[in-house]
Chains A and B, each alone.
Chain A
Amino acid sequence: MAFGNKKDKSAGRLAISQSEQGGATVVKLGGEVDLNVSPVLRDHLKSLVQEQRKVVVLDMSDVPYIDSSGVATLVECLQGVSRYGGVLRLAALGDRTRSVFEISRLDSVFAMRPTVEEAIKG
């Protein structure tokens, strides 16, 4: 996958698009992240871990809903990225989506930023 390229794919009701911005790999998700689509998201994020992307930003601004299977997928990605010294940041979570991380007590485990731009900066 070349830097600067943008690729899009959709999995069921989840749209995944990826771009390179400011040295970060920005993955924009669109749709509900549930048991039905989590396996496809997992495969996508797994490929980023295998490529050892240094900075991965997940743009959650168009994710109205995430369940525990989605959260588990992100935990797996976080652990994978951390193993080689990379970072994963979540950006632009809505109230409901953020609440799932809070109830799971994972809001302190993930780096969360209000915007994609801030997530890219650090």
Chain B
Amino acid sequence: MPSDPAAMTFVRVLVEKAAALCGFDDKQIGGIVLAVDEACTNIIRHQYENRHDERIDIAVIADEADGRLRFIIRDYGPTREADDFRGRDLADVRPGGLGLHLIRQIMDTVEYSPADGGGMQLELAKGVPAGVEGQ
């Protein structure tokens, strides 16, 4: 997808569909959509400094054996240390800085790593609800 905020509606629809197929309930689906959206908008704002003509790759993996819904989100911006991606203290009520906190609250796994060839890769994963089979 392009690093254009206008494209995020399309991404949200796809993520919602994937999460629904995996058996998450409505509130969980809303959270997963939010987490992926926040991850992409963080890339647009911080990795690409609001340039809207860069590239973001998103892979969606729903593996029954793995039991998790996974998203691999890759950008081609600067390569940073994983420790650079930290949320802020929520006790400090102010605009901004919420995105990463939301992602960490919603997803079971949030792992940043340098991508091969430059840029960053983020893996987000959430365990599929028990009792859901055949996804």
A interface residues with partner B (beta carbon < 8 Å)? 12-13, 32, 34-36, 65, 67-69, 71-73, 75-76, 79, 95-96, 99-100, 103-106, 109
Report the bound CA distance from A99 to B45 in whole Å.
Answer: 24
Q: Could you say which interface size class chain B belongs to?
A: 20 to 34
Most chain B CB neighbours (cut-off 10 Å) among A65, A67, A73, A100 = A67
**Which residues of chain B have C-beta atoms less than 8 A from A96's C-beta?**
26-27, 30
Report the bound CA distance from A32 to B37 in whole Å.
Answer: 12
Q: Given A34-B41, A71-B98, A109-B93: A103 and B5 within 8 A (CB)? A: no
Main secondary structure of the interface of B (DSSP, over half): helix
Contact of A34 among B8, B98, B102, B106 (CB under 8 A): B8
Report the bound CA distance from A94 to B79 in whole Å.
Answer: 38
Report the bound CA distance from A106 to B102 in whole Å.
Answer: 12
10 more contacts with CB within 8 A, not counting A34-B41, A73-B95, A75-B94, are A34-B9, A35-B41, A65-B12, A68-B96, A69-B41, A72-B96, A95-B27, A96-B27, A99-B30, A99-B31
Report the bound CA distance from A104 to B92 in whole Å.
Answer: 11
The 3 closest A-B CB pairs, nearest first, are: A96-B30, A72-B95, A36-B5
